[in-house]
Amino acid sequence: MLGTKGLFSRLIAQYGYAALSGLMLILIQPPVSLYPLAFAALVPLMRGIDKDNLRRSFLRGFITGIIAWLGTIYWVVVAMNQYGGIIVPLSILILVLFVLYLSLYTGIFTFACAYLEKVTSAPSYLIAAPVWVILEYSRGIVMTGFPWSYLGHSQFGFLHLIQVASVTGTLFISFMIVAANSIICTIWARKKVPVVFTVVIAAIFASSLVYGFVRLQHRDEGKLKAAIVQGNIGQDIKWDESFKMMTVSKYYRLSFGLAQGTDIIIWPETAIPFLLGREPAAYRYVQAVPVMLGSRLLFGTVGMLSTGNLLNTVLYIDRDGNTAGIYNKVHLVPFGEYTPIVSYFPFLAKLTAIGADFRPGDGHRPIETDVGKIGVLICFEGIFPYITNDTVRQGAEVLVNLTNDAWYNRTSAPYQHFAFYVFRAIETDRYVLRAANTGISSIIDPRGRIEGKTPIFTEEVLRGTYALKNTETFYVRHGDYFVIICVGFLVLVVVAGLVRKRVVQDSPGPGAKRTRQ
């Protein structure tokens, strides 16, 4: 018993701070959203970075990651088991494997900080922020990418600070947070932080806040009227043949009841969950909506290629009932809409409601309409900044996200997913209209102000206005250039550190005698 207590005490001593950081990283993200805590959440972890023990440094970061990600994406089990048809043990295994993968990034963070401090003698407060940015960026692109719950996303409600994302992108917000954590950690360790470094970071925060204050003085006047219909169709019946016409009827009823007198009506992703080409009667039913209401209709459905493969499709029907625009989802969800290894493991096809045979569309071109060039983002396409940037560069004047978050049930996922679109609005200087099957549907203005939103799991029609914009922000034009700056900075730090070490090694010691020539 004493041995067990002793082991437990040693584990707490070695990894307790890491666990504390993991817990705080959960609390700063939606739905809890204790966003001020973000500026200290990494302090306990960074306190444990040890340049003389790289293995322990990695393990501390890895443990932080495991706790943080288990508390952040636990909803993977819900999606896999309740709606994907995967048994609980296998769903848990998928979650564990995913968490272990994501935790590598925090492990690499602490390892890299310790290693770079060891080989270059550069203090961790100088290298931590750029290392974190590079790793977050990598997580967003490796293996199709998972840019979910960046550190900067915790600040989605701090509008004055995050306006700078229109210039730098969201990764810069993460940079500022880690830099603040670094200063606090160094002070806690009773080490000196150079005044110059502190002043530079303080100036970055101050200039970002001033920029945000100035930018928030402007408000776009929305003159176009939108009605976003939230049908609240349960995932367990969404694809059931006996409920499909009931689904159409519900959207029909909500639209005629509360969407009249608007310029455009928006239904969510796969609001019409069958192939309209094979259901002409249902298609005529849908086409009648904008004609009878004198509006336009944008809605999600399922398309099919000549090969028989499916498409996650959005159709636009004009006021005359004509199908005047189409967009097919480009960035599909791995193991959700397609399974790369399904030919080897056929049972994995059960992870999707219809089967793992969706195919991507051919580009992010906006749909041209008489109420603006509409940049469509289906499901989680909007969590990728490069997709929204590309869509805007191709002419999108307003962004519309159609999603079905019923997969996640009443977990934290719908709240986390919603928060990302505040950043997409700011980064691109565009209105974001969001239609979610079970919520959160919303209208977000180009400064990230939430002009209207719905609760989850309710039938709603959210009405509001939006404006068309054709500007391009610095971030839209140049993308994630800040990552390149971080890489360049680290290269300079490494080179300078190695040169300094070489000079010290080659210098004669204090007791060395000089030779007369």
Buried b (16+ CB within 10 A) or exposed e, 490-517: beebeeebeeeeeeeeeeeeeeeeeeee
At 370, list the tokens.
């008489």
CA end-to-end span of the chain, whole Å?
Answer: 73
Judging by DSSP bridges, how do beta strands 323-328 and 367-369 pair with one another?
Answer: unpaired
Is residue 379 part of the annotated active site? The answer reads: yes
Catalytic residue among 113, 185, 379, 486: 379
Judging by DSSP bridges, how do beta strands 367-369 and 372-378 pair with one another?
Answer: antiparallel
CA distance 381 to 145: 11
Distance of CA 327 to the CA centre of its chain: 22
Find, among 18, 32, 10, 113, the residue nearest to 68 by Cα. Answer: 18
Rounded to the nearest 10 degrees, how much is the dihedral formed by the CA atoms of 448, 452, 455, 459? -140
Q: How many CB atoms lie within 10 A of CB 147?
A: 19
Is residue 329 part of the annotated active site? The answer reads: yes
DSSP string, 420-478: HHHHHHHHHT--EEEEETTS--EEE-TTS-EEEE--SSS-EEEEEEE-------HHHHH
Catalytic residue among 117, 269, 397, 460: 269
Which residue is associated with the tokens 């943080």? 68
| Residue 281, C-beta contacts closer than 8 angstroms, at least 6 positions apart | none
Is residue 373 part of the annotated active site? The answer reads: no
Contacts 24+ apart (CB under 8 A), 332-341: 332/358, 332/359, 332/360, 333/379, 333/380, 334/143, 334/144, 335/94, 337/312
Catalytic residue among 117, 136, 185, 329: 329
Provide the 8-state DSSP code for 398: E
Q: What are phi and psi of 2, to 5 degrees?
A: -65, -40
Q: How many degrees, rounded to 5, is the angle at CA 218 between CA 212 and CA 224? A: 130
**Helix residue ranges per DSSP H, 140-220:** 159-162, 165-168, 171-188, 195-215
At 333, list the tokens.
């969800």
CA distance 125 to 30: 27
Q: Which residues are marked as active site?
A: 269, 329, 379
